[in-house]
Amino acid sequence: MTNAAHEMFAVDEASRALGIELLEAGDGRAVARMRVTESMVNGHAIAHGGYVFLLADTAFACACNSRGPVTVASGAEISFVAAGKLGDELVATAEERTRYGRNGIYDVTVRRGDTVLAEFRGRSRVIAERQSQ
Kindly write down the DSSP assignment for every residue of 17-78, as one continuous string: HTT-EEEEEETTEEEEEEEPPGGGB-TTSSB-HHHHHHHHHHHHHHHHHTTSSEEEEEEEEE
Q: What average pLDDT does the segment 19-44 reach?
A: 97
Residue 51 has pLDDT above 60, yes or no: yes
Q: What percent helix, strand, coil does the chain show, rounded to 5?
A: 25, 45, 30
Question: Whole-prediction pTM value?
Answer: 0.94
Q: What separation in angstroms does the CA of 88 have from each of 34, 56, 94, 114?
A: 8, 15, 19, 12
Residue 133 has pLDDT above 70, yes or no: no
Q: For residue range 71-90, what is the model confidence (pLDDT) as tens digits?
A: 999 999 999 999 999 999 99
Q: What CATH class does 4-128 carry?
A: alpha beta
Q: Where are the domains of the chain?
A: 4-128
